[in-house]
Amino acid sequence: MFSVSFRVMLSGEDMAVLRWGCLVLLTIVLMVPCGAVPSNNIYKLSEEQPPNTLIGSLAADLGLPDSGHLYKLEVGSPYLRVDSKTGEIYTTEIPIDRETLSDCRNLFEDDKCFLEFEVSITDMVKGIGLGPRLIEGIIEVLDINDNTPQFSSPILTLSIPENTHTGTLFSIPVAVDRDSGSNGVAEYALSAGPDANQLFGLQVAEDVDEKIPQVIVIGNLDREKKDSYDLNIRVVDGGKPPRASSALLRITVTDQNDNAPKFEKNQYEAELPENSPPGHSVLQVRANDADTGANGDIDYSLHQASDTVQRLLRIDRSTGIIYVKGLVDREEDNLLKFYVVARDRGPNSKSSKAQVTISIKDQNDNAPAIEIRGIGLVIHQNFVANISEDMPIGTPVALVQVSDRDEGENAVVTCVVAGDVPFQLRPASESANDRKRKYFLQTTTLLDYERIKDYRIEIVAVDSGNPALSSTNSLKVQVTDINDNTPSFSPALLEVNFAEDNQPGDKVIDVVATDADSGVNAELVYSIIESSAASLFEINSNTGEIRVRNQLDREDVERYEFGVAAADKGVPSKTGTAIVVINVEDRNDNDPKFMLSGYSFSVNENMPPLNPVGVVTVSDADKGENSQVTLFVEPDNGKFIIQNGTGTILSSISFDREKESTYTFRLKAVDAGDPPRSSYVGVTINVLDENDNAPYVTKPANSSYTHLKPSSPPDTPVEVVKAEDIDAGVNAELYYTITGGNPHGLFQISHNSGEIKLAQGFTGKHKGLHRLVVRVSDKGKPPRHTTALVHVYVNETTNNVTLIEGLVGHSLYTPLDRDIAGDPNYDPAQRSNIVYGSLAGIAGVILIIVAVVVIRYWLQNDTKSGYQAGKKENKDLYAPKQGPKNGKGKKSKKNKAPKQPKQLEEDEEASLQKGFGFNHIKENINDSPRILLPLNRQPGSPDLGCHYRSNSPLPSIQLQPQSPSASKKHLAVQDLPATNTFVGTGDNNSTGSDQYSDYSYKANPPKYSNKQVGDYANTAVYHNGIYWTNRLC
């Protein structure tokens, strides 16, 4: 169904006939104007029609013959197509959807949707020289019911106060239907259960151009009885057949909210200049609510706003001010229409709405647009139009469309042809649309190919804005000769070998075609047919010389095949083709490439030589000998070799991580090309650690000691055992334990740090020397360990240093399975014995002094006696020896200083050194405290050091410098301890570890009897370096 009103542009004989008809008509009817009816062809079509649906026939509507005319669709694709012979307009495979057409998206209820089209008609009988006619038309797209009305949510909520009067109305959110007119929303229906059916009803109100469903209260609501009701609301459109959808309406009975907000106006209108910046305020809507508190507080929001409105505008929910949100372009959207809802904040919120219409004011921000396209049989390629020189005057060569997206004066455009060229613009239609004008670009004189072969035509368009905007566009018109021969190649297949790694622009091959025509029709234009090949090769369009654009790489593509064309310049142009094959030859242009940028291998320590360490992979993208690769080790120090072929790295050495944990070298890969190419890669060999080293103790020395007072509280730091392990990782993580010398649990050690602390307080029997046997183990598998000795001397003072050092020295010879831990024979009654023993000792010393004086006196008188002072009578290591004459001894009560004993003989000194079998590495004088305090203390003193001092005339021990108690430059004399004062037990068993550090104790064969060292003895007992006696101080 359609109605037709059209305007036909005629030329030549048709124009003459029209003028004659008009003249006759003027003679009959005076003052009747002559001309075509200024209206367009209008067709009507329902949307969503299937393909090939007939819309209308231009030939029949215009009264043209059924044949002899060529119809071409200029505007209207992809939705339309035109039969070139009959002029019938059909739909295509792409359906026309009224709701998705760009010009119909923002239409309102009464607006119509139009689809424009243009068709050019060429009279083939009279020739194209008369020029085509341009038919403009529009199709009104009619809406069908192809959209279902939908609610905004499948669940709608409504709050109604419990004391609401019957007859009160509450609005429900409306449903939206993208269709229009009768296909839009037609009616609503409400269904409910028996309980809700007696309380609620439905009423539909008409508001402007929409139906608003409202719930009406028809019964008394009791919130305590029931506070929620679920109803079903159904919406139906007016289509045939109708479409419908439903939503759940949940009514909640709440406290009362009496009044709904009320806008000051039902409709708001405003103008908004286009290009307004974001944040620009457009207008403010205001609503009032008679309630108070939250029931009177109002929130504003956009309602039924299109995507365009939501993109361009926003509203302040508190003030109602509407602001610009996005870029406003009148040419895209010239009118915005939407609703604003005012809703109070009460528990049963009420709302009202007002319509807002915003008109976008134009600014002259668009320059005229000039579109040049072919018309009829004249086809444009790359902005070039070809026209034969035999065409008559007035032949159109292009259709020029000038448009301006602005409006009013800003859209009034003046269009001219610049320069002195034989072309002019002629209106192609008499449409009154100033925003879009169409012109034919036609010849004004006969063209002469021999005189001028082509023209560059520039078209200028200027609008009427202030200031005015202008634009230009150009077209090249080539005058052509008549052409009837096709160019040809000989041979049709061209093959060439071309080496890779060329320079861009290098010549590849010349292709030559011939054309039997003459003149311009014999002039050939060469081109590469495939666009993919044209990106790699270029052809001289005039000579056919093919050059490479880029550097070729055989490793990427080894063979290229593409077509070339030679087209003459005749109209219509004729073209011949040929196949070009380019074989890319290999060059040694690729370095050998290792698979990885660097290699790192790990090997076990102590791995035997000539075992595989790792494998590397190398490749060469070249071909033939250029891809054969040989590997070398650099620098070649003989530690590693590489197997060519497999890429296996072998070691020539056995690895010791402690000597060298990492080996780094390079592998060189050299191909067999000429010249050869090479590449390098770094290789790192990491030696994994094995637990092949035991820890060694660095602190303290076995011969040192630490002094603690008996009053020391628990947690008192005693000593820190420090050790190192030259292994790595878990093999170097150390674990400290006390394995001996702690029978009373007095000491504790940190297993991780080696710090020894006092675990509990001392008692009387704990005084004296304690020897802690500390085992330092690593965490390797199997673990290795060493043993350290930590001596702790518990006493008030350390006045008798020589005594302490003697005890420490004796400890070094005591087997490790014997505990040296204080005084096991401690008895409180012993203190009195010590006092009496001290008195007896003093008396004994006096008697010894007297005896010595008598003996010396006798020796001076009897020099021939067989005894001489200082002469060694036996091999007793501890027999008294005469010291140097100027030596200072301990003074007696008569102030006579006895001479010091002689030093030990060499064999005895060696024996003594052997007895003290410990190492002095890194040990110095400061390893043990040397507190030089007065040693004369009163009998009965609580200082245990007093009891280590002997008052008997028995000989003393003279320590050699190699002993642990002697300094490196001076000798030291130690008084002998009483038998019961060195606490410890001993047996013939040794429990030494299998390996020790430089400071560790090394087990020697047993040198003591099974008798406890601390027992009282009737006779003097001699052990290497220590003299035990039963005398008391």
**Are residues 284 and 346 located together in one domain of the fold?**
yes
**Are residues 11 and 131 located together in one domain of the fold?**
yes
State both tokens at 109: 């209820």
Cis peptide before 743, with omega less than 30 degrees from 0? no
Q: Strands 155-161, 734-740: parallel, antiparallel or unpaired by DSSP?
A: unpaired
Instruction: Select the highest-mean-pLDDT range: 20-24, 163-167, 522-526.
Output: 522-526
pLDDT tens readout for residues 364-375: 888 899 999 888
**Greater model confidence, 569 or 525:** 525
Kindly state whether residue 101 falls inside one of the protein's structural domains.
yes
pLDDT averaged over the chain? 77
Q: Strands 734-740, 768-778: parallel, antiparallel or unpaired by DSSP?
A: antiparallel
Phi, psi of 473 (to 5 degrees): -150, 155
Tell me the pLDDT band of 834, cut-offs 50, 70 and 90: low
State both tokens at 146: 């192809």
Give which of 462, 476, 458 is closest to 402, Cα–Cα.
462
Residue 676 near residue 645, CB atoms below 8 Å: no
- DSSP class of residue 680? E
Give which of 229, 231, 234, 98 is closest to 175, Cα–Cα.
234
SS (H, E, C) 186-241: EEEEEECCHHHHCCEEEEEEEECCEEEEEEEECCCCCCCCCCEEEEEEEEEECCCC
Which whole number is the average pLDDT over 877-899? 39
Please check the confidence at residue 881 and state whether its pLDDT lies above 80: no
Report CA-CA distances (Å) from 263 to 110, 268, 792.
26, 10, 98
Please check the confidence at residue 687 and state whether its pLDDT lies above 80: yes
Give me the pLDDT at residue 622, please: 87
Sign of CA dihedral 810, 814, 816, 817: negative
Kindly state whether residue 717 falls inside one of the protein's structural domains.
yes
Length, in residues, of the chain: 1033
96-110, 163-177, 556-570, 803-817: lowest mean pLDDT where?
Answer: 96-110
**Are residues 507 and 434 located together in one domain of the fold?**
no
Kindly state whether residue 230 falls inside one of the protein's structural domains.
yes
Show which of 206, 236, 254 is a domain's final residue.
254
> What single-letter amino acid sits at 936?
N
Kindly state whether residue 455 falls inside one of the protein's structural domains.
yes
Cis peptide before 612, with omega less than 30 degrees from 0? no
Percent of the chain with pLDDT over 70: 75
Show which of 799, 821, 843 is a domain's final residue.
821
pLDDT tens readout for residues 1001-1023: 333 333 333 333 333 333 333 33
Please check the confidence at residue 978 and state whether its pLDDT lies above 50: no
Residue 692, SS3?
Answer: coil
Kindly state whether residue 243 falls inside one of the protein's structural domains.
yes
Q: In the beta sheet, which residues pair with residue 441?
A: 398, 425
**Are residues 743 and 653 located together in one domain of the fold?**
no
**Are residues 476 and 508 located together in one domain of the fold?**
no
Tell me the pLDDT band of 316, cut-offs 50, 70 and 90: very high
Residue 519 domain boundaries: 500-576
Tell me the pLDDT band of 305, cut-offs 50, 70 and 90: confident
Say how far apart CA 898 and CA 847 lie, in whole Å.
14
Burial annotation 784-798 (CB, 10 A radius, 16+ → b, else e): bbbbbbbbbbbbbbb
State both tokens at 390: 């035999």
**Are residues 513 and 472 located together in one domain of the fold?**
no
Segments of 238-373 assigned E as strands:
244-254, 262-263, 267-273, 281-284, 287-288, 298-303, 313-315, 321-324, 335-344, 351-361, 369-373
CATH of the domain at 197: 2.60.40.60
Say how far apart CA 40 and CA 7 lie, in whole Å.
6
Kindly state whether residue 1017 falls inside one of the protein's structural domains.
no
Residue 525 near residue 567, CB atoms below 8 Å: yes
Give me the pLDDT at residue 124, please: 78
Tell me the pLDDT band of 563, cut-offs 50, 70 and 90: very high
Give me the pLDDT at residue 257, please: 66
**Are residues 356 and 387 located together in one domain of the fold?**
no
Sign of CA dihedral 820, 826, 832, 836: negative
154-163, 282-291, 612-621, 832-841: lowest mean pLDDT where?
Answer: 832-841
Give which of 577, 558, 552 is closest to 567, Cα–Cα.
577
Say how far apart CA 406 and CA 368 lie, in whole Å.
9
Percent of the chain with pLDDT over 90: 32
Helical residues (DSSP H) of 944-996, grouped into ranges:
944-947
Say how far apart CA 278 and CA 272 lie, in whole Å.
12
Say how far apart CA 303 and CA 909 lie, in whole Å.
113
Residue 1020 near residue 954, CB atoms below 8 Å: yes
Tell me the pLDDT band of 286, cut-offs 50, 70 and 90: very high
Please check the confidence at residue 762 and state whether its pLDDT lies above 70: yes
> What single-letter amino acid sits at 515?
D
Say how far apart CA 844 and CA 839 lie, in whole Å.
9
287-296, 438-447, 757-766: lowest mean pLDDT where?
Answer: 287-296
Q: Which residues, at least 6 apart from 794, have a Cβ–Cβ distance to it below 8 Å?
A: 708, 709, 710, 762, 766, 767, 768, 769, 770, 822
**Are residues 557 and 601 located together in one domain of the fold?**
no
471-480, 591-600, 914-923: lowest mean pLDDT where?
Answer: 914-923
Kindly state whether residue 50 falls inside one of the protein's structural domains.
yes
Give me the pLDDT at residue 108, please: 67
Segments of 814-955 assigned E as strands:
820-821
**Are residues 88 and 115 located together in one domain of the fold?**
yes
Give me the pLDDT at residue 798, please: 86
- Using a 10 angstrom Cβ sphere, with 0-12 exposed, 13-18 middle and 19 or more buried, the burial of residue 49 is middle
Displacement of CA 849 from its chain's centroid (Å): 94
Q: Which residues, at least 6 apart from 63, have a Cβ–Cβ distance to it below 8 Å?
A: none
Q: Sheet of 351-361: strands edge to edge?
A: 267-273, 351-361, 335-344, 298-303
Sequence-separated contacts (24+) of 661-667 with Cβ below 8 Å: 661/686, 661/687, 661/689, 661/728, 662/686, 662/687, 663/639, 663/687, 665/633, 665/634, 665/635, 665/637, 665/640, 666/633, 666/634, 666/635, 667/594, 667/599, 667/616, 667/631, 667/632, 667/633, 667/634, 667/642
Residue 551 near residue 506, CB atoms below 8 Å: no
Say how far apart CA 481 and CA 387 lie, in whole Å.
9
> What single-letter amino acid sits at 298?
I
Residue 622 near residue 671, CB atoms below 8 Å: yes
Please check the confidence at residue 34 and state whether its pLDDT lies above 70: no
Kindly state whether residue 269 falls inside one of the protein's structural domains.
yes
**Are residues 598 and 718 located together in one domain of the fold?**
no
40-49, 94-103, 433-442, 827-836: lowest mean pLDDT where?
Answer: 827-836
DSSP H/E element including 20: helix 13-28
26-30, 178-182, 368-372: lowest mean pLDDT where?
Answer: 26-30
Say how far apart CA 267 and CA 356 lie, in whole Å.
6
Segments of 779-845 assigned E as strands:
785-794, 820-821
Helical residues (DSSP H) of 36-84, grouped into ranges:
58-62
Please check the confidence at residue 619 and state whether its pLDDT lies above 50: yes
**Are residues 138 and 6 located together in one domain of the fold?**
yes
Say how far apart CA 461 and CA 403 lie, in whole Å.
9
Give me the pLDDT at residue 280, please: 93
Rg (CA), the chain: 59
Give me the pLDDT at residue 76, please: 86
State both tokens at 1003: 């087990």
Phi, psi of 938 (to 5 degrees): -70, 145
Alpha carbon distance, N-terminus to C-terminus of the chain: 143
Give me the pLDDT at residue 859, please: 84
Q: How many domains does the chain have?
A: 7
User: Which value, to the nearest 10 degrees, does the dihedral of the CA atoms of residues 1007, 1011, 1014, 1015 take?
Assistant: -140
Give me the pLDDT at residue 882, please: 40
Give me the pLDDT at residue 705, please: 93
Which whole number is the average pLDDT over 592-602? 93
Helical residues (DSSP H) of 594-696, grouped into ranges:
none
**Are residues 549 and 657 located together in one domain of the fold?**
no
Please check the confidence at residue 274 and state whether its pLDDT lies above 80: yes
Show which of 109, 142, 175 is a domain's final residue.
142
Please check the confidence at residue 183 and state whether its pLDDT lies above 90: no
Please check the confidence at residue 869 and state whether its pLDDT lies above 60: no
